[in-house]
Chain A
Amino acid sequence: MTSLVLLIPIALFMGLIGLIAFFWALRRGQFSDLDGAAARILIEEDEDQP
């Protein structure tokens, strides 16, 4: 029972962090261009730089 007092708040807290992180990402437009995000990883960063 005592372990629960500790574990449940930890579980809820961690879940809440995930939820807040998702909302932050949503507001920052991380989900506004899913196709582009998938393609961007393939761009050569220094293709035309000396």
Chain B
Amino acid sequence: MTSLAVPGTDAGHTIAGETVHTVLSVPGMHCAGCMAKVERTLGRIEGVATARVNLTARQVAVDHHDTVAVPDLVASLAQAGFEAQPRLDRAEPVSAVRPLMAPLAVAAFACMNVMLLSVSVWSGADGATRTLFHWLSAAIAVPAVVFAGRPFFASAGGALRHGATNMDVPISIGVLLATGLSCYETMTGGKEAWFDGTLMLLLFLLAGRALDAMMRDRARAGVDALLRQAPAGATVVAADGTPAWLPATDLVPGMVIRVAAGERLAADGAIVRGASRFDQSLLTGESAAVRADTGDTVLAGTLNLDNPVDVRVGASGEDTSLAEIARLMASAGQGRSRYVRIADRAARLYAPAVHSLALLAFVGWLIAGAGLYHALVVAIAVLIITCPCALGLAVPVAQVVAAGALLRRGVLVKDGAALERLAGVDHALIDKTGTLTHGCPVPDAACLAALDGTDAAIALSLASHSRHPLSLALTRALAARGVRTVDLTDVTEIAGRGVEARHGALAVSLGRPAGAEGMAAALSITGQPVRIIRFADALRPDWAQALARLAALGVPCAILSGDNRAAVAEAARITGLPARATASPAEKQAAIADLQAAGARVLMVGDGLNDGPALAAADASIAPGTASDVGRQAADLVFTGDSLLALPRAVSVARATMRVVRQNFALAIGYNLLAVPLAMAGLVTPLVAAVAMSLSSLVVIANSLRLARVPR
């Protein structure tokens, strides 16, 4: 490994003074080419020592001299075509897999070595050799069981302390009894020790658990990598007029922050200078811009559209409207935390049945006249053979395979329980702004088509000089049509009016049309009539097909929006869905509670802060990748593409997963129906137990792998 040069590492840069470690989130990386480009781009900057990409986390770790500012790194990545943002929390994200790796490795090592010894015992070693092998096995297995079994013992102990039971209780009892019996056999020079089976059981179960954790890690990394929309801070204007940038957490009431056009507010407050229009869609779902003059209150998370304004911070911390939504969400999430995973529900039935069977075998053999020792051996054999090995794999393997298949189609699944809950939904409530629609303005195709080559080029050139949301949308749309910019001179952007410039002898401008309704921009070129380019918040692609498929799956949809009546009625007319408008966050949550009280299982699809409580309260929830931080955190699933087809796909995959899980349970129970009578009859040897355990696990895994193929 050392002979290979790490790309991006350049020993030629001498580093003096302080070296800084920066982690940038780069969500756009997804292949080897992107990795190489990012590492080389950063490596070429003077003062950068190393740049190392972590593709799994979509991050790049940069060691650089403190003369290199973080915005420079971001800017050079932007030039290379990658959006990047510094990670605020420097700490490595906590991984769920890492703590399981060491127990898994120890269990695998011990299992292989003990199996090696067991094979010789099974093939007929006896006398002193067998005793020696048993002692060796015990020496390996006992420390391994203590170390590798800890995750199960801890979980079982926790459940028992609360008077509950879960899958880990029968596992722990089986493992501990089998180890104890085997030690006794070893010490008394007995014929059969069960160390191999015990360790194999731990190995399989740890593998299932590690798979489960891996799925959660991967989804969380994907969700974390999506760029944050809310600003992480604001430019504070001091009393003497000097501006300084402060992180959002350091803002206190009374400070004056300057918010440029196209920037999001970091705190609630009142405007002290200037007037502008604000896009509150993230907060309320309202798509029409709201006008605010000096003295009016503006809210954190809203987008300033027209003019730079100075805002005196009014509320911070617990008093903001954001905090109110957070409180609603915390109380809404409690219902979901009561959900019991299917494996634990199965264990509630399974554990008592198994333990009474073992007790029955014990008592039965005693009554039949067997000795205490013999009856105990049979009872423990029953416990080992019924230890839920296949059951422990049945759920995680199916869910991991399904989540991996969904990931390839652009749907991130936060955890396995999400798939279980999603499979049961029979109603869907869909937010309008940002979910059913793109949530950002898209220029009307007919208006664009009406612009001829030069006019389109002038429009693109003008739009590219502004950060106004409509300009950004126009730039995107025109660039996508293959329009190229032309040379402009004397470009000036006048806040609230638009961009003016000269193209050769012509005076050209792009700005707000006088007296136009709704969202529009006016393109004026000397000697030509003014063109109006209309913008609308367009529906996402494939919406019709997606809604039809959801209906076919038995999930009728309805629109639940915080937007004004007219806008929602328009969307309802096009989609043909029942709709409810002007719903506040609390009303959205109440609407879900009403449906749930009527016995429905509700899927909530939403993106904004205002959807947060509803996303947390619903039985299952999905957010688009463009959603707000709150929306993405609260949702169970996040889809990264544009297409709404992700919704029916996720529902049908979740249902297929539950079908496979149930099949796996049936297979595991069928195996027990065969094996338990043998064990109760005292016919099960360690060899039979090992073979039966491996076979049942392999069958369950093979059945789960069928989920790897996802329908389009």
* A residues apposed to B, CB below 8 Å: 1, 4, 8, 11-12, 15-16, 18-19, 22-23, 26, 31-36, 39-45, 47-48
Tell me the total A-B contact number using a CB cutoff of 8 A: 64
Segment of B99-107, B331-339, B359-367, B374-382 engaged in the interface with chain A: B99-107
Q: What residues on A are CB-neighbors of B105 within 8 Å?
A: 19, 22-23, 26
Chain B's nearest CB lies how many Å from the CB of A32? 7
Q: Does B142 contact A (CB under 8 A)?
A: no
Question: A41–B1 Cα gap in the complex (Å)?
Answer: 12
**Distance of A16 Cα from B110 Cα, bound (Å):** 9
* B112 interface neighbour in A15, A39, A42, A44, Cβ under 8 Å: A15
Question: Does B112 contact A35, Cβ atoms closer than 8 Å?
Answer: no
A19 to chain B minimum Cβ distance, whole angstroms, is 4
Let me know if A19 and B109 touch, CB within 8 A. Answer: yes
Closest 9 pairs between A and B when the two form their complex, measured CB to CB: A36-B55, A42-B32, A39-B32, A43-B36, A19-B109, A33-B54, A35-B55, A35-B56, A22-B105
B36 contacts which of A1, A4, A47 (Cβ < 8 Å)? A47
Q: Provide the residues of chain B in CB contact with A1, threshold 8 Å.
A: 128-129
Please indicate the chain B residues that have their CB under 8 angstroms from the CB of A8 in the complex: 117, 136
| Interface residues of B, Cβ cutoff 8 Å to A | 4-5, 7, 31-33, 35-36, 40, 53-57, 98, 101-102, 105-106, 109, 112-113, 116-117, 128-129, 132, 136, 140
**B-chain residues with CB within 8 Å of residue A22 when the two chains form the complex:** 105
Q: List 14 A-B contacts (CB under 8 A).
A: A4-B129, A8-B136, A12-B136, A15-B109, A26-B101, A26-B102, A35-B55, A36-B53, A39-B31, A39-B32, A39-B35, A43-B32, A45-B5, A48-B40
- Shortest B215–chain A CB gap in Å is 13
* Min CB gap A28→B, angstroms: 10
Q: Are A40 and B102 in contact (CB under 8 A)?
A: no
Contact A43 B7 (CB under 8 A): yes
Query: Chain A: interface secondary structure?
Result: helix
Q: Check B106 against A19 for contact (C-beta < 8 Å).
A: yes
Give the complex CA separation of A16 and B106 in angstroms: 10
CA distance A8 to B33 in the complex (A): 48
Q: CB-CB < 8 A to A34: which residues of B?
A: 56
Bound complex: CA A29 to CA B30 (Å): 20
Q: How far is the CB of B414 from chain A (nearest CB, A)?
A: 18
Please determine whether B36 and A36 come into contact, CB atoms closer than 8 angstroms: no
- Residue on A with the closest CB to B120? A4
**Contact assessment for B106 and A33 in the assembled complex, using a CB-CB cutoff below 8 Å:** no
Q: Which residues of A contact B57 (CB under 8 A)?
A: 33
Given A39-B35, A40-B7, A48-B40, 6 additional A-B pairs, CB 8 A:
A1-B128, A1-B129, A15-B109, A40-B32, A42-B31, A44-B36
List, in ascending order, chain B residues with CB within 8 A of A39's CB.
31-32, 35, 55
> Given A11-B113, A48-B40, does the pair A23, B7 have CB atoms closer than 8 Å?
no
A17 → chain B, closest Cβ, in Å?
10
Asked, given contacts A4-B129, A8-B136, whether A36 binds B35 with beta carbons under 8 Å apart, the answer is: yes
Q: In the complex, are the beta carbons of A36 and B56 less than 8 A apart?
A: yes
Q: Which of A12, A26, A32, A45 contacts B7 (CB 8 A)?
A: A45
Q: A15-B109, A26-B102 are in contact. Are A36 and B116 (CB under 8 A)?
A: no
CA distance A45 to B55 in the complex (A): 18
* Residue on A nearest B34 in the bound complex, by CB: A39
Are B56 and A33 interface neighbours, CB within 8 A? yes
Nearest chain A residue, comparing its CB with the CB of B128 = A1
Q: How far is the CA of A37 from the CA of B6 in the complex (A)?
A: 12
**Closest A residue, CB atoms, query B57:** A33
Closest to B104 in A: A22
How many angstroms between the C-alpha atoms of A8 and B31 in the bound complex?
Answer: 46
Which residue from chain B places its CB closest to the CB of A5 in the assembled complex?
A: B132
Of chain B, the residue at the smallest CB distance from A26 is B101
List the B side residues contacting A4 at CB < 8 Å.
129, 132
